Amino acid sequence: MKQPVLFLLILLLGLTGCAAPHPLPELIAGAGEDRWCEAVFPQGRWEFVHTIDFSMADGSGTTVLGVTSLAGEEIACALMTVEGFTLFEAVYRRKEGLEVRRAVPPFDNPAFAAGLMADVRTIFYAPFPAKVQYGRAAGQSPTCRYAGVDGRITDILPARDGCWQIRTYGADQGLIRSVAGRSCRKEGESLIPGYLELKGFGPMSYTLKMTLIQAENLNEKVLP
């Protein structure tokens, strides 16, 4: 009996350990506007290429090239080795869901595809809120707080460290993901970071360090 009890204890401690350090901060309500936070997300049609340095909590990881293509309701993404071999390619459409076009092992796990697309959507797509509040989180940064129908909460800090930050919380108000942009530059109505750091929290915590290689604004281009 001791082993299951010990396992549960470790599990509970683990869960507590994940949620406690990053609880949802109190939002001190204030005046605000959607447009503050809309600039965080690229508007219209864009293509981005990043180097992505992926690392797990134990320090293991690797570096790949990531492509993200945004076109209205459609997001396409791909991961490649530095040698140019495509490891993963998928398209997400809001109405139709996720379509995996190519997935080379070990990237053929459905959970990986879902997790990757969730990361991509967190960075590039504004949440679809049931309710929006404005104010200052923890009494500091201006914040737009989007509450979803599923209980998830997304805090967008549009002016943090010269760029922006996004934090998503689960229904239990524990932090799921944080994204910090740096070296932002203004492109039309959008703020494009030269560097992004995404942290995924939970039992399998990980970090993606994304350095922008190229950004193409396709809104004003005539495509073949």
Question: Which residues contact another protein by CB under 8 A?
Answer: 47, 49, 51, 53, 60-63, 65, 67, 69, 76-78, 80-86, 89, 91, 102, 104-105, 209, 213-214, 216, 218, 221, 223
Max CA separation in the chain (angstroms): 68
- For the bound state, the minimum distance from the C-beta of residue 210 to another protein, rounded and expressed in Å, comes to 12
Cβ closest to another protein, residue 95 vs residue 221: 221
Q: Within 10 Å of residue 196's Cβ, how many Cβ atoms? A: 23
- For the bound state, the minimum distance from the C-beta of residue 21 to another protein, rounded and expressed in Å, comes to 24
- For the bound state, the minimum distance from the C-beta of residue 77 to another protein, rounded and expressed in Å, comes to 8
Asked whether the beta carbons of 113 and 121 are under 8 A apart, the reply is no
The number of angstroms, rounded, from the C-alpha of 55 to the middle of its chain's C-alpha atoms is 15
- For the bound state, the minimum distance from the C-beta of residue 209 to another protein, rounded and expressed in Å, comes to 7
Q: Is the dihedral of CA 75, 81, 82, 85 positive or negative?
A: negative
- For the bound state, the minimum distance from the C-beta of residue 46 to another protein, rounded and expressed in Å, comes to 10
Q: Which of 193, 156, 163, 179 is nearest to 38 (CA)?
A: 156
- Rounded to 5 degrees, what are φ and ψ at 81? -75, 165
Could you tell me which residues come within 8 angstroms of residue 65 by beta carbon, excluding any fewer than 6 positions away?
A: 49, 50, 51, 52, 79, 80, 81, 82, 213
Cβ closest to another protein, residue 3 vs residue 214: 214
